[in-house]
Amino acid sequence: MIYRKPNIAIVEDNDDLRDDLSFFLRENGYPVWCCSSAELFWRQLHTESTDIVLVDIGLPGEDGFGVVKHLNEFKEYGLIIITARGAQKDKLNGLQSGADLYLIKPINFSVLTEKIDTLWHRICDGKASADIEHSGEIIEKNIPTEGIGIDWRLGDDCKLVTFDGASISLSPQEYILLRELMSSVDQVISKLDLHQILFGHVDEVDVHRIDVLLSRLRIKLRSKEIKLPIRTLFGKGLVFRSND
């Protein structure tokens, strides 16, 4: 499938960041429109083509959580929170509100574009599958679906739904770890980045915390005879594999 560049909306009240980010995205071929508040965003949304929304939490007036929660009801947009707030309760609130990604400032623009593209491809593939289902066509797949990473998903109330339909209760940290890895299937995420997302609120960096969290998660799933398709690449990080 050939993917066009998604239309991006940026809802950010920091003028410098909004300008820098919109300039970078436009220079890389993304159609972009911007606003500084939720109120302006809602006013413009019905007149602007929009596929993915980048939204800050600390907006004047209605905050970013409210924007994400309301947009999630439409099921039409990719939703990425960009914020300086790294507390676990904020991350969990954002993800449970419907955000596809929760990114902590300062934002690496190159990494952001990679995540935007991955999310957009997933959205496009999902729409294509839905169109095929509605058309009544039957497609015979040439590969088995059992165990494929992309068939795993995160459900409501901190639940992991495995490829065979099993539902596993997760801790908030486990939920966030899986959300990050599953949003970038087959892409390596460094333990340092994961540590910043999960434990950015602590002063001392200790990536061993990621190893401990992953070990506990593996044990939890192993007790139910489920193999978690996450691989550790020495010196590089973790990757959620689609073919394990």
Q: Give all domains of the chain, ordered by start, each with its CATH number.
A: 8-125 (3.40.50.2300), 149-240 (1.10.10.10)
Return the pLDDT at 138. Answer: 32
DSSP-derived 3-state class of residue 48: coil
d(CA 77, CA 69): 11
Q: Is 131 left (phi over 0), alpha (psi -120 to 50) or beta?
A: alpha
DSSP-derived 3-state class of residue 58: coil
Whole-model pTM: value is 0.58
Return the pLDDT at 223. Answer: 83
Report which DSSP code applies to 4: P
The residues, any chain, with a CB within 8 Å of residue 139's CB and separated by 6 or more, are 132
- Short-list 131, 60, 55, CA closest to 98: 55
The rounded Cα 227 to chain-centroid distance in angstroms is 22
DSSP-derived 3-state class of residue 229: coil
Q: What distance, in Å, lies between the first and last C-alpha atoms of the chain?
A: 23
Paired strand residues for 231: 239
> In this structure, are residues 62 and 38 in contact, taking their beta carbons and an 8 Å threshold?
yes
Other Cβ atoms less than 10 A from the Cβ of 196: the count is: 15
Return the pLDDT at 67. Answer: 93
Return the pLDDT at 129. Answer: 47
Length of the chain: 244
Q: Give the pLDDT means over successive 10-residue stretches in the chain (244 positions).
A: 87 95 95 95 90 95 91 88 89 87 90 91 69 38 34 78 80 87 88 84 79 87 86 88 73
- Short-list 143, 163, 156, 183, CA closest to 227: 163
- Short-list 244, 3, 243, CA closest to 123: 3
